[in-house]
Structure 1
Amino acid sequence: MAQKKASHVLVCKELKPHLLMVLVQVGYTFLYFITEASFNHGMSPYVYVTYRHIVAAVVMFPFAYFLERNARPKLTFALFMEIFVLSLLGVSVTLNMYFASLKYTNPTFVASMINTIASLTFIIAVALRFEVLDLRNPRGIAKVIGTIISLAGVLIMTLYKGPVMRNLWHPLIHIPGKSAAINEDWLKGSILTVSSCVTWSLWYIMQASTLKRYPAQLSLTTWMSFVGAAQSAAFTVIVEHNSSAWTIGLNVDLWSTIYGGVVVAGLIIYIQLWCTEKKGPVFVTVFNPLSTILVAILAYFVFGEKLYLGSIIGAIIVIIGLYFLLWGKEGDQEVYMKTKDKSQCSTVDPECRI
């Protein structure tokens, strides 16, 4: 009996990262719709980004301060300027473009495009020589093929809308204020979404480099939230001339800000950091398409949003290419771990080399 109980505990422990990442994608799925409802209600995306990261910084500060009290290195001026650039790429520039794109497209398209970040990151990393590409290895070929397939899917989603899929029934939940002009600015929304994905990819690459000099993930995230909120506030003052845009009441604007700051920028980031430590970044990225599927299901069946054939075809192609790329990247991780084990083994006992 005790052995059976121990076996169940072991299985639950093994599945814990998987279940947590599923919850993460569910959290991201709701983010698309609550922010869309808030923007349709009249909230400025730029004000939202500013308030969201103020909330995130306030929520994460005590955790970063107490949990990483002994892990934080001294913050030099050079390191602060690096965090300043990181905040531009990861918060103020990227998220302002990203959320603004929701005004011109729809959540299904935006969620599908996020899956291209892995491919874009790979291309930029190879160009900057952060990534080694071995075309003599099947996994290296898979990375190239996966990248090409994913980008082909992006082009299909961007350039081809196709016919609208007919709704089978009336929407169960109605999001008020949806503008009919959204279709007229589809190209503008596509450009904003793609641009945000590119800057997001640059952020991931630069973040990995910064963490080597500032190995305190919670503290780094808190700093980026503070600095990014300040940058976004300065940008908003320039582009948002209506002072009443800064006022939010007890409505969907407030709830979307709290949800984005506490759940997404706080709890979800912590879960992702934990899963990355336990399973690695490849494991975390594998779950991204789940959000795309959930958004498409909710948008079409629950909220009654328009779903275009081009988005369906493009999303399927992007996901296929993504898993080709991830299969190749997983091989890189296996080789890295074997090399690391050999290095540690040879350091301790030269006779244990394989």
Structure 2
Amino acid sequence: MGALNNNMSGIISTLLPPILMVLVQTSFAGTNLLYKVAIEDGMDINIAVAYRFLLASGLLMILAFYKERTHMSNLTWNIVFKGFLCGLFGGTLFQLFYSASLNYTSTTIATAMGNLEPAFTFVLAIIFRMESVAIGSTGGKAKIVGTLLSVGGAMLLTFYKGIEIKTGSLHVVKLHGDDIHSKPVHHHILGSLLAFASSIFYSGYLIVQARMSEQYPFHYTNAAMMCATTSIQTGFYALIRDRDWTHWKLGFNIRLLTVLFSGIFASGLSSTLISWCVQYKDPLYVAIFSPLMLLLVALGGTFLLNEKLYLGSILGGLMTVMGLYVVLWGKSKETKTSKNSGDDAVQME
């Protein structure tokens, strides 16, 4: 019976992280599609982001107080500062740059640049000694090759168009002027660069989050600090950009749905799960699941929003995903080698 319980526990601990990360990427994909529709409806995306994190921070503060209030005396200014940095990188800068990119390029292209997050996270993790690379080993070579593949795929997707792939569409929402290839080339490149920068900020957030979770492993509080910081920063930014209060009103429409979905799932739930997973696994593991969002957004954009799909998007996306999973394979190879070495050392003793 004990062995059965141990086996079940092992299966759950193995399956739980990937299942939760798939949920996170699904919530991100849904938010991306809703953002695009809300922009088309005339909503200022900066206001949507401010509302999103205001809602998330309120929910998380309640949960943190209810679940983790007995541990709040352990908070230090160092941990609070890391919470501020998480909000700045993973919330404010990431969201504002990414949201701005949606004004210049399609959801598929903007999301595809997010596929570089594992590569950036990998490099930052090496710099901050959270990840190692044995260049002479099979796993180390796989990490390097996979990183180069992912970068090359993102560049191919951004700068190569190719033929249009004809697909069926449900036409749930028809966006006007959403074909990025009908816009000036410099708009398309600017949108890609903004999304590129947002990926760097997100990778920095994962690194800081991992350090914070090591010091203070209370994930509701960590997520609440991150979202509260972001809500203040994005709120001020949105107020500076738009002081017309009529633009801040939410009715029973796509704008309210966007705020509720993104606030509850993409910020409230996801930031908590990410905080847990970077501690349970590591930042690179969390970032590895970013390509899934590209697939979901590409499918949603094509079949629901009537976005056009091009050969360059497919080839670049496949190349990027292939590179990222080569990195994941290399990482698992190194982990297995390290474990075997450790077992041999124990037997020698």
Question: Once the 2 structures are TM-superposed, how far is the Cα of residue 276 of structure 1 from its aligned partner?
Answer: 5.8
Q: Tell me which residue corresponds to 2:238.
A: 236
Amino acid at match of 1:28: F
Hey, what's the Cα distance between the residues in 1 that align with 2:215 and 2:227?
19
**Closer, same or farther: CA 308–73 of 1 in aligned 2, 3 Å:** farther
Q: Tell me which residue corresponds to 1:79.
A: 79
Hey, what's the Cα distance between the residues in 1 that align with 2:319 and 2:294?
13
2:104–2:190 CA contact under 8 A, matched in 1 = yes
Amino acid at match of 1:206: V
2:175–2:305 CA contact under 8 A, matched in 1 = no
Local SS of the residue matching 1:162: coil
Amino acid at match of 2:250: I
Identity %: 28
**Closer, same or farther: CA 335–43 of 1 in aligned 2, 3 Å:** farther
Hey, what's the Cα distance between the residues in 2 that align with 1:187 and 1:239?
24
Deviations 1:242-264 (A, max 9, x none): 44332222211111001001122
Moved more, 207-216 or 132-141: 207-216
**Closer, same or farther: CA 147–87 of 1 in aligned 2, 3 Å:** same
Question: Once the 2 structures are TM-superposed, how far is the Cα of residue 294 of structure 1 from its aligned partner?
Answer: 2.3
Local SS of the residue matching 2:35: helix
**Closer, same or farther: CA 222–179 of 1 in aligned 2, 3 Å:** same
Q: Is 1:252 paired with 2:251?
A: no
Hey, what's the Cα distance between the residues in 2 that align with 1:38 and 1:32?
10
**Closer, same or farther: CA 264–290 of 1 in aligned 2, 3 Å:** same
2:143–2:331 CA contact under 8 A, matched in 1 = yes
2:162–2:312 CA contact under 8 A, matched in 1 = yes
Query: How do 1:119-134 residues align onto structure 2 when only pairs under 5 Å count?
Result: 119-134=119-134
1:72–1:215 CA contact under 8 A, matched in 2 = no
Hey, what's the Cα distance between the residues in 2 that align with 1:111 and 1:321?
16
Amino acid at match of 1:296: A
Local SS of the residue matching 1:143: helix
Query: How do 1:176-187 residues align onto structure 2 when only pairs under 5 Å count?
Result: 176-178=175-177, 183-184=183-184, 185-187=187-189
Question: Once the 2 structures are TM-superposed, how far is the Cα of residue 153 of structure 1 from its aligned partner?
Answer: 1.0
Hey, what's the Cα distance between the residues in 1 that align with 2:23 and 2:82?
32
1:41–1:176 CA contact under 8 A, matched in 2 = no
Deviations 1:222-270 (A, max 9, x none): 0111111101112222333544332222211111001001122123344
Question: Once the 2 structures are TM-superposed, how far is the Cα of residue 205 of structure 1 from its aligned partner?
Answer: 1.2
Local SS of the residue matching 2:332: helix
Q: Is 1:173 paired with 2:175?
A: no
Specify every segment of 5 or more residues in structure 2 that has no aligned partner in the other structure, as ranges.
Answer: none
Local SS of the residue matching 1:304: coil
Query: How do 1:1-354 residues align onto structure 2 when only pairs under 5 Å count?
Result: 13=12, 15=15, 18-166=18-166, 168-169=167-168, 171-178=170-177, 183-184=183-184, 185-240=187-242, 242-272=244-274, 284-334=286-336
1:41–1:177 CA contact under 8 A, matched in 2 = no
**Closer, same or farther: CA 290–80 of 1 in aligned 2, 3 Å:** closer
**Closer, same or farther: CA 238–73 of 1 in aligned 2, 3 Å:** same
**Closer, same or farther: CA 293–146 of 1 in aligned 2, 3 Å:** same
Local SS of the residue matching 2:113: helix
Question: Once the 2 structures are TM-superposed, how far is the Cα of residue 210 of structure 1 from its aligned partner?
Answer: 2.3
Amino acid at match of 1:147: T
**Closer, same or farther: CA 240–330 of 1 in aligned 2, 3 Å:** farther
Amino acid at match of 2:233: Q
1:276–1:283 CA contact under 8 A, matched in 2 = yes
2:210–2:279 CA contact under 8 A, matched in 1 = no
Moved more, 44-53 or 76-85: 76-85
Question: Once the 2 structures are TM-superposed, how far is the Cα of residue 64 of structure 1 from its aligned partner?
Answer: 1.4
**Superposition TM-score, scaled by structure 1 size:** 0.84
Hey, what's the Cα distance between the residues in 1 that align with 2:190 and 2:237?
20
2:17–2:277 CA contact under 8 A, matched in 1 = yes
Hey, what's the Cα distance between the residues in 1 that align with 2:129 and 2:191?
31
Moved more, 87-96 or 170-179: 170-179
Question: Once the 2 structures are TM-superposed, how far is the Cα of residue 117 of structure 1 from its aligned partner?
Answer: 0.3
Question: Once the 2 structures are TM-superposed, how far is the Cα of residue 199 of structure 1 from its aligned partner?
Answer: 0.9
Deviations 1:319-347 (A, max 9, x none): 1110111112223444666788899x7xx
**Closer, same or farther: CA 253–297 of 1 in aligned 2, 3 Å:** same
Question: Once the 2 structures are TM-superposed, how far is the Cα of residue 79 of structure 1 from its aligned partner?
Answer: 3.4
Hey, what's the Cα distance between the residues in 1 that align with 2:273 and 2:91?
19
Hey, what's the Cα distance between the residues in 1 that align with 2:63 and 2:344?
36
Local SS of the residue matching 1:135: coil
Local SS of the residue matching 2:330: helix
Local SS of the residue matching 2:165: coil
Hey, what's the Cα distance between the residues in 2 that align with 1:298 and 1:37?
12
Hey, what's the Cα distance between the residues in 2 that align with 1:298 and 1:200?
23
